[in-house]
Amino acid sequence: MAPHQTPPPLSGKRRRIAMMTSGGDSPGMNGATRAVIRTALERGCEAYCVYEGYEGLVQGGNFIRKMEWSDVRGWLSEGGTLIGTARCMAFYERPGRLKAARNMVLNGIDALVICGGDGSLTGADKFRSEWPSLLKELVETKQLTAEQVEPFKHLNIVGLVGSIDNDMSGTDATIGCFSALGRICEMVDYIEATASSHSRAFVIEVMGRHCGWLALMAGVATGADFIFIPEKPRADRWREEMCTIVARHRQLGKRKTIVIVAEGAHDQQGNKITPEQIKNLLADKQGLALDTRITTLGHVQRGGSACAYDRYLATLQGVEAVNAVLDATPTTPTPFIAINENKITRKPLVQAVEDTKEVAKAIEARDFDRAMGLRDTEFSDFYNSYMTTTTTDIDDSKKVALEKRMRIAIIHVGAPAGGVNAATRAAVAYCLTRGHTPIAIHNGFAGFARHHDDEPQGSVRPFDWLEVDGWASKGGSEIGMNREIPSESGMDLIADLFKLYKFDGLFIIGGFEAFHALSQLRRAREQYPSFRIPMTLLPATISNNVPGTEYSIGSDTCLNELVRYCDTIKQSASASRRRVFVIETQGGRSGYIATLAGLSVGAVAVYTPEEGISISMLAADIEHLKSVFAHDSGQSRAGRLILINEKASKVYNAKLIADMIREEARDRFESRDSIPGHVQQGGVPSPMDRTRAVRLAIKCIEHLESLGQASEEEISNNLMSATVIGIRGAKVVFSPMKEVEENETDWPNRRPKNEFWTPLKAVVDTLSGRPNVPRPESPAVGLKAKDQKRGLI
């Protein structure tokens, strides 16, 4: 057989990099493919896609296609995987891998990025380890010549984990898991409405053969009555335990019962627990006698467009995969791209796969403590959080001694953000479980200061569990939020009210105003003894601009709403396809929302307060748009987007920029401005905001509880008595307010001094093809007179 022609190797560090999706499809895979292709091209490499997974690699020919920049335009918003995935039995055998190797060499490809599950990635690593012997066999059998294989004797492989189960060890999240969780929560929310209407019970089966992440997180996010997961099977008395909890919830007045079961659920003896068993138990006329239905969600869980988190996770991991290819040497172990400590990292693939398989082995061996231990700390935290919120007021042994019980005030300060109610529900649940009294302060400090029996129930009152139990999926703030801070309400009055109601602890949920409020209360302790109680803040704002944390509750909900809005806007341009939309985002003086949304929707440009806007920058971007539309062959499916933060400039707003673009376009293309406004605050909170709200709120009350017996003097001298909880990297930490407000806060601009996300701005520009435009001499921000008046400096 005569050998085919092989393209010559590329010079320097340039590579021919192929992207492939394998195994199951996960939302976000198209975002990863887009990022790999465009980053490869931007780094001077040639980019290819292997269609139909390993099957395409074995078949070769038209299954391996060279890709250009415009070929992946519009892919971010598409569900599934546009390059296909298929099971390939041939690749399991050496002859199949031999064909795959030949096709790689014939196309001159010496690097492969694979997005798939642990099975697909294990196959990839085996392929790499066999590569030298495969090339040797191809030469010996005269399928290729020694000259052809010489430039390609080293194969580089990088793995991306695409899995809705989030079952890979070594990474906090896998591409697609939060999209699948979102689909589950959406379905459960729908089911809850009909369950409540008819006072029914529903048993909902979700995916997860060896990993209960989806079932656990759905239970936390929706406030389900009971869950079954493989890693933590119930004891032999699981029937009695479930019936006790469900019966107690019904006695409290709940009209609905939701039980979530992972498909791999079993008891401690290894016997499978089926939805039918659970249904029969709940419906047993000798027991609970509930009208019970079963819903198996099936493949709806992996369908649809990716959520914002999966889009930017896939994008950032795709970029890093190309970097890993170009950094690799022949001796570099095959890496996979993980997310840890809020950073994209590289980890050895083989070790991660082995650790993942160990979980399944531990479950099979009924070593369930080890199975839970092999999951990350976050998994155990969420399980404990879930148990706290579902067994509220059932187990008296969990209550603290009478003299240690506290009156803990809960107040919302700032603007509404998704997850605030879920956090409040969790805090109330923990308080009641431990015997504390959770007290609601309605309508923030403004409502507190004007509380004089204006409301029928009073603006300061203990929480009722049945009232808050349904808050897990509610948006906004059920007890009201207000931007007023204590100095505006009257510090003397607020101090007197603290003394009147005998608060032993304060839990604040909110944004920068809440941060400012806690700062004022801390500093006022010297003058007002009633403030010498433990206080902590859970940041909750769509702007994600609270110092002391890299994540604020509500920001994920905002991004999801904004991404949906942008997708719809882009689609509206499908008729003409020659339209630019300038969309104004919220975010205050922080460009986080604009930047992350820009990364998730493939914006042409993003304008932020940190960078500012100049006339030369706008002129360069308009010239770039002219060039883009001049070379647009019409194959793209949607319009183009520019995102501008609401405070990016004092002069250039969305309408003015759209008008400038329209004027300069001279009818060659159109432009429109659009302002989603408060739509960005979202309706139903995202699963990420709900689950993190639960976990962090419980940690906050635990922290207050740990200082509950401290004296006024001890509180005054303890920096940890006034704290902000935050996610810094992969760790949850409490930071002393004194240190954060003095060292980390940019008070005039109401944001942290060092914002962790700022390097992502360059990634947005790179993947959109934006040229290196002129940057403003200084950011278009400044100190406002009202900030001085409010005591921000």
Per-residue pLDDT of 99-139, as tens digits, reads 999 999 999 999 999 999 988 998 999 999 999 999 999 99
Which residues are known binding-site members? 24, 87-88, 117-120, 163-165, 200, 207-209, 263, 293, 299-302, 483, 541-545, 579, 586-588, 646, 672, 678-681, 750
Tallying the residues shown for the chain, one arrives at: 793
**How many CB atoms within 10 Å of residue 663?**
10
For 715-743, the DSSP string reads: HHH-GGGEEEEEEETTEEEEEEHHHHHHH
CATH class of the region 177-302: alpha beta
Average pLDDT of 767-782?
A: 77
Residues 714 and 136: their CA atoms lie apart, in Å, by 74
Q: Is 567 a catalytic residue?
A: no
Query: Which CATH homologous superfamily contains domain 557-682+759-785?
Result: Phosphofructokinase domain (3.40.50.460)
Eight-state DSSP code of residue 307: P
Q: Hey, CA dihedral for 480, 482, 485, 488, is it positive or negative?
A: negative
Lowest pLDDT segment from 76-85, 360-369, 493-502, 510-519: 360-369
**281: three-class secondary structure by DSSP:** helix
Which residues are known binding-site members for substrate? 163-165, 200, 207-209, 263, 293, 299-302
> Mean pLDDT across the chain, nearest whole number?
91
Let me know if the fold of 16-174+306-360 is the same as that of 557-682+759-785.
yes
pLDDT at residue 745, rounded to an integer: 97
Query: Is the pLDDT assigned to residue 789 strictly greater than 70?
Result: no
Q: How far is CA 522 from CA 147, 204, 412, 653, 709, in A?
A: 74, 47, 17, 38, 18
Which residues are known binding-site members for beta-D-fructose 2,6-bisphosphate? 483, 541-545, 579, 586-588, 646, 672, 678-681, 750
Q: How far is CA 332 from CA 328, 335, 456, 488, in A?
A: 6, 8, 69, 60
Q: How far apart are the first and last CA of the chain?
A: 79
Q: Which helix (H) or strand (E) holds 197?
A: helix 177-198
**How many CB atoms within 10 Å of residue 331?**
6
**Active-site pick, 165, 504, 673, 689:** 165
Query: Is the pLDDT assigned to residue 636 strictly greater than 70?
Result: no
The third-level CATH classification (topology) of the domain covering 16-174+306-360 is Rossmann fold (3.40.50)
Residues 552 and 556: their CA atoms lie apart, in Å, by 8
pLDDT at residue 631, rounded to an integer: 81
CATH class of the region 396-553+685-748: alpha beta
Which residues are known binding-site members for ATP? 24, 87-88, 117-120
Residues 127 and 155: their CA atoms lie apart, in Å, by 9
Query: 23: number of CA atoms within 13 Å, CB side?
Result: 22
Per-residue pLDDT of 52-108, as tens digits, reads 999 999 999 999 999 999 999 989 999 999 999 988 899 999 999 999 999 999 999
Which among 87, 89, 92 has a CA at the least distance from the CA of 127?
92
Query: Is the pLDDT assigned to residue 778 strictly greater than 80?
Result: no
* Backbone φ and ψ of 616, nearest 5°: -70, -35
pLDDT at residue 2, rounded to an integer: 43
Domain ranges of the chain: 16-174+306-360, 177-302, 396-553+685-748, 557-682+759-785
Query: Is the pLDDT assigned to residue 330 strictly greater than 90?
Result: no
Q: What angle do CA 692, 696, 701 make, to 5 degrees?
A: 150
- pTM as predicted: 0.93
Eight-state DSSP code of residue 551: -
More confident residue, 608 or 288: 608
Contact 562, 680 (CB under 8 A): yes
pLDDT at residue 792, rounded to an integer: 44
Q: What angle do CA 193, 197, 198 make, to 5 degrees?
A: 120
Contact 73, 43 (CB under 8 A): no
Q: How far is CA 460 from CA 130, 451, 479, in A?
A: 70, 7, 10
For 569-606, the DSSP string reads: HHHTTTTT--EEEEEEE--TT--HHHHHHHHHHT-SEE
